[in-house]
Every structure is written in C-alpha cells, then in structure tokens.
C-alpha cells in the first residue's frame, strides 16, 4: 500500500477547524510516528496552533470575570467610547450586549488590535450580539459641554436607544446617570482589556468612528483624517497651522495651534 502523501495529510489537518481539538489531537497522534520532515513540521505546527487556541480561550475566560459576576442578570451591556482625544470629529460611544455563550475569541482593547482584526471582529460581533448600538456626539457639542460630558451623553443615549434594555452596565472607567440608565453598573479602569462586553463595545465604536473619519478625509483632505482619524499627529497639527481649522475641528482642542 502506497504511503500517504504529505499533501494529503496536510489537507486532512486543514479540513478540520482548530476548535475541534479532539479531532486535531487525534490527527497529531496518528502522525506522530511519521519520520518525514514535512510531516514532523506539520504536526508541530498544529501542536502550536492548538496551544495558541487553548491559550486564547483561557484569556477570554479570564476576561469574562465581570460577566460571570453578574451572571444572574439576563442582559449585561458593555459600554465604551472612542475619540475622546482627537482634535477633530465626534466622540463615539458603543453599547454591546453579548449572549452568554458568545464564543467570540480575540476580543480586546480595540487599540491593541490591527485594523484587519478589528474589522473581522466587528462583523462577528454584529452577527452574534443580542444588541448593538453606537452613538456619535459631534464636535460642536464637545466644545459646548466638554469632552467628558459629551462622552457621557453619547453613552447614555446608546443605553437608551439599544434595542434590548440592559439589566447591568459594564463601563470603561465611568459611571452613568440619567433616565433609563440601569442602577446596576460597574466602572472598570481599562475595562476594554478586562471585560469582553466592554472590549466588544470598544471595537464597534472604533470601527464606526474610523470609517466616519475616512469619509471626512474625502471632504477635508488637507488634514490627513484617513490616517490620523483626527488625532493630533505632527502632520495634522502642521495642517491646522497652515490651513486653519475645518468645519469638524474641536475649537476648544486646537486653540493653541491657531
């Protein structure tokens, strides 16, 4: 009987999702005695992939500690904002209610993820979440009531407008007040790296705000919004000094540059 080709063995591995750990382990065991260099590399590669997958599951489990703390409640809503620091554009609040067995891996503070990974997770969150809501509060309101109050305004509006009423809020480092805001809430410092719900809200808000700023770049190309997203990069500050502010600049943020 002819020996199985390495390409055939590779296809057997490829055709099994890494989440099927028992099947992957069975293949690893089946080919562990094969002394061909290509098979040894393949087996070792899948051992590493399987370990990385198990490590990621453990990391996500640790990030679900706050969700487990409030597991007696039906709807736990993560809240986060993106865009408190930029010189231009709105602040965006995201609110996400994940199902208890969401199965989403790689959730993290959106700033720690590549754009490609954020986009992938954004699609997965929208597909699997119980409910998602994002709210923008524009530069004019930020100038009028300050960035902290504008951020809270966006968050409260997101809570009030999300299609499923939350029982609990997990918020990145803030506390919210207002009509319709649940009394049961917890502000968590660096919450987007400690809670899957807040991380999901961070990702959704980041992707939607980035997309908006890329559209603004088409209207105001001098300022490099597609790359800096309104943040105070050297290029952006020099453009403000050269061209002055555009209609979406936060005047209270750029007063030292004009």
Question: In this structure, are 42 and 109 located in the same domain?
Answer: no
For residue 170, the model assigns a pLDDT of 98
89: containing domain: 72-252
The pTM of the whole model exceeds 0.85:
yes
Question: In this structure, are 114 and 222 located in the same domain?
Answer: yes
Please name which of 237, 91, 221, 70 lies closest in space to residue 152, comparing C-alpha atoms.
Answer: 91
Per-residue pLDDT of the chain (258 residues; tens, 9 = 90+): 568 999 999 999 999 999 898 999 999 999 999 999 999 999 999 999 999 999 999 999 999 999 999 999 999 999 999 999 999 999 999 999 999 999 999 999 999 999 999 999 999 999 999 999 999 999 999 999 999 999 999 999 999 999 999 999 999 989 999 988 999 999 999 999 999 999 999 999 999 999 999 999 999 999 999 999 999 999 999 999 999 999 999 999 999 887
For residue 1, the model assigns a pLDDT of 55
Question: In this structure, are 145 and 190 located in the same domain?
Answer: yes
Question: In this structure, are 246 and 220 located in the same domain?
Answer: yes
For residue 175, the model assigns a pLDDT of 92
The verdict on residue 258 lying in a domain is no
Conformation bin of residue 94: beta by default, left when phi > 0, alpha when psi is -120 to 50: beta
The verdict on residue 1 lying in a domain is no
Question: In this structure, are 130 and 202 located in the same domain?
Answer: yes
For residue 257, the model assigns a pLDDT of 85
Query: Cα separations (Å) of 17 from 13, 22, 49?
Result: 8, 11, 11
Question: In this structure, are 100 and 52 located in the same domain?
Answer: no
Give the CATH number of the domain where residue 163 resides. Answer: 3.30.420.10
The verdict on residue 79 lying in a domain is yes
Question: In this structure, are 166 and 232 located in the same domain?
Answer: yes
Tell me how far apart the alpha carbons of residues 84 and 137 are, in angstroms, rounded to a whole number: 11
Sheet order of strands, 168-172 included: 131-137, 91-97, 76-82, 168-172, 185-188
What is the domain count for the chain?
Answer: 2
Question: In this structure, are 98 and 220 located in the same domain?
Answer: yes
Question: In this structure, are 15 and 112 located in the same domain?
Answer: no
Tell me how far apart the alpha carbons of residues 185 and 175 are, in angstroms, rounded to a whole number: 7
């Amino acid at each position: 009987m002819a020996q199985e080709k390495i390409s055939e063995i590779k296809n057997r591995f490829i055709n099994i999702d890494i989440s099927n750990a028992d099947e992957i382990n069975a293949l690893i065991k089946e080919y562990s005695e094969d002394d061909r260099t290509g098979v040894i590399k393949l087996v070792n590669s899948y051992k590493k992939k399987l370990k990385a997958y198990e490590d990621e599951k453990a990391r996500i489990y640790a990030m679900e500690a706050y969700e487990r703390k409030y597991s007696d409640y039906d709807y736990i809503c993560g809240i986060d904002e993106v865009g408190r620091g930029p010189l231009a554009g709105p602040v965006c609040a995201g609110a996400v209610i994940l199902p208890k067995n969401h199965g989403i891996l790689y959730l993290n503070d959106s700033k720690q993820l590549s754009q490609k990974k954020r986009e992938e997770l954004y699609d997965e969150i929208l597909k699997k979440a119980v409910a998602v809501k994002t709210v923008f509060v524009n530069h004019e309101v930020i100038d009028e009531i300050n960035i902290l109050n504008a951020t809270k305004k966006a968050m409260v509006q997101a809570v009030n407008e999300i299609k499923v009423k939350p029982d609990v809020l997990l918020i990145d480092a803030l506390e919210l007040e207002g009509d319709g805001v649940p009394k049961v809430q917890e502000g968590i410092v660096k919450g987007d790296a400690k809670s899957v719900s807040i991380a999901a809200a961070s990702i959704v808000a980041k992707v939607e705000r980035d997309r908006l700023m890329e559209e603004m770049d088409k209207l105001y190309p001098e300022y490099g919004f597609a790359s800096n997203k309104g943040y105070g990069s050297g290029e952006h500050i020099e453009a403000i000094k050269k061209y002055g502010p555009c209609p979406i600049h936060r005047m209270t943020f750029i007063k030292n540059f004009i």
